[in-house]
């Protein structure tokens, strides 16, 4: 493995400012969840919430006097159960996924280039298949990209497995290299998981330092991904059916 000296160089990363930004971590599945609001007592949105943490999110939203209007899943997760259904029941929020998702409890489906606007916060949906065939990423403030929520297609010094749920290593390469890597270098990368204690990266750092991608060709990347031979996630047989049914 390739661990550069500045691995997890998070102190140098400029976090989104002029907004309320909370990053939650679910230790059981190593999942990151992001809560964004432009101000106290305003409207909020959440990305990739985990069912077992629903009460934590609701408490945080209530503490800032906010109203949750959007709950977004980047893709159908195989390693944890989504909180989309619980949050919709608790707050009346609109549940959002990409237009190819087969999940039942999605009340709004986004397509490539769609803009989500919540109280001054703008997210642009970009279709980034590869980890699954229905994964989307979301660019914060697309006019001058501040951050991207990449789900699992691009991880910090890694990338999401491509061996189930319609995954495809060539499409993963295309999504990362031809879409995510065209964002400005300073765009902060917020993935849905990290397994090594990192919390954020940047597009520039991943272009230079991601050991699966930096200096690689597409066929080298495909060979790496196809050679991973990972065991299935422990919760996969429970999580995927549950996530197609609102996490219930
Ligand atoms: Fe995933």
At 32-79, the pLDDT tens digits run: 999 999 999 999 999 999 999 999 999 999 999 999 999 999 999 999
Say how many Å lie between the CA of residue 164 and the centre of ligand 1: 10
Which tens digits make up the pLDDT trace of 212-229?
Answer: 999 999 999 999 999 998
Alpha-carbon distance of 91 to 71, in angstroms, equals 10
Which tens digits make up the pLDDT trace of 155-168?
Answer: 999 999 999 999 99
In this structure, are strands 94-98 and 67-72 parallel, antiparallel, or unpaired?
parallel
Alpha carbon of residue 44 to chain centroid = 17
- Mean of pLDDT over the chain: 93
Q: Which sign, positive or negative, has the C-alpha torsion 56, 137, 175, 79?
A: positive
Say how many Å lie between the CA of residue 81 and the centre of ligand 1: 11
Say how many Å lie between the CA of residue 42 and the centre of ligand 1: 30
How confident is the model over 136-158, as a mean pLDDT?
97
221 — alpha (psi -120 to 50), left (phi > 0) or beta? alpha
CATH superfamily of 20-229: Ribonuclease Z/Hydroxyacylglutathione hydrolase-like (3.60.15.10)
Quick check: 27 and 193 in contact, CB under 8 A? no
Distances (CA, A) of 141 to 14, 120, 145, 149, 175: 14, 9, 5, 12, 19
Say how many Å lie between the CA of residue 116 and the centre of ligand 1: 22
DSSP single-letter state for residue 50: B
pLDDT band at 9 (very low <50, low <70, confident <90, very high): low
Q: Which residues pair with 124 in a beta bridge?
A: 115, 139
Say how many Å lie between the CA of residue 76 and the centre of ligand 1: 7
Say how many Å lie between the CA of residue 41 and the centre of ligand 1: 32
Which tens digits make up the pLDDT trace of 116-135?
Answer: 999 999 999 999 999 999 99
Lowest-confidence region among 119-128, 182-191, 224-233, 239-248: 239-248
Say how many Å lie between the CA of residue 226 and the centre of ligand 1: 17
Q: Which two tokens stand for residue 197?
A: 């204690």
Say how many Å lie between the CA of residue 183 and the centre of ligand 1: 22
Say how many Å lie between the CA of residue 22 and the centre of ligand 1: 21
In this structure, are strands 136-140 and 121-127 parallel, antiparallel, or unpaired?
antiparallel
Say how many Å lie between the CA of residue 170 and the centre of ligand 1: 17
| 220: Cα within 13 Å, side-chain hemisphere | 7
Say how many Å lie between the CA of residue 217 and the centre of ligand 1: 24
pLDDT band at 104 (very low <50, low <70, confident <90, very high): confident
Say how many Å lie between the CA of residue 176 and the centre of ligand 1: 15
- CA angle 153-24-214, nearest 5°? 30
Quick check: 128 and 175 in contact, CB under 8 A? yes
């Amino acid at each position: 493995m390739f661990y550069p000296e500045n691995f997890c160089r998070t102190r140098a990363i400029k976090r989104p400012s002029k907004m309320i930004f909370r990053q939650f971590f679910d230790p059981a599945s190593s999942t990151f969840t992001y809560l964004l609001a432009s101000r106290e007592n305003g409207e909020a949105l959440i990305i990739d919430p985990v069912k077992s943490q629903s009460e934590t999110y609701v408490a945080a939203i209530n503490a800032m006097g906010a109203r949750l209007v959007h709950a977004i899943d980047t893709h159908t997760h195989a390693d944890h159960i989504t909180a989309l259904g619980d949050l919709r029941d608790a707050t009346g929020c609109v549940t959002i996924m990409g237009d190819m998702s087969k999940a039942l409890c999605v009340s709004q489906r986004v397509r490539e280039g769609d803009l989500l606007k919540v109280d001054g916060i703008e997210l642009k949906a970009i279709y980034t298949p590869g980890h699954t065939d229905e994964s989307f990423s979301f660019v914060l403030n697309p006019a001058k990209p501040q951050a991207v929520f990449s789900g699992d297609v691009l991880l910090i010094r890694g990338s999401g497995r491509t061996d189930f749920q319609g995954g495809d290593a060539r499409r993963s390469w295309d999504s990362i290299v031809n879409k995510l890597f065209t964002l400005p270098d300073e765009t902060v990368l917020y993935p849905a998981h990290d397994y090594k204690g990192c919390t954020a990266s940047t597009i520039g750092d991943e272009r230079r330092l991601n050991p699966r991608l930096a200096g690689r060709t597409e066929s080298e990347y495909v060979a790496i991904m196809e050679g991973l031979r990972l065991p299935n996630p422990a919760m996969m047989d429970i999580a995927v059916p549950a996530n197609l049914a609102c996490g219930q």
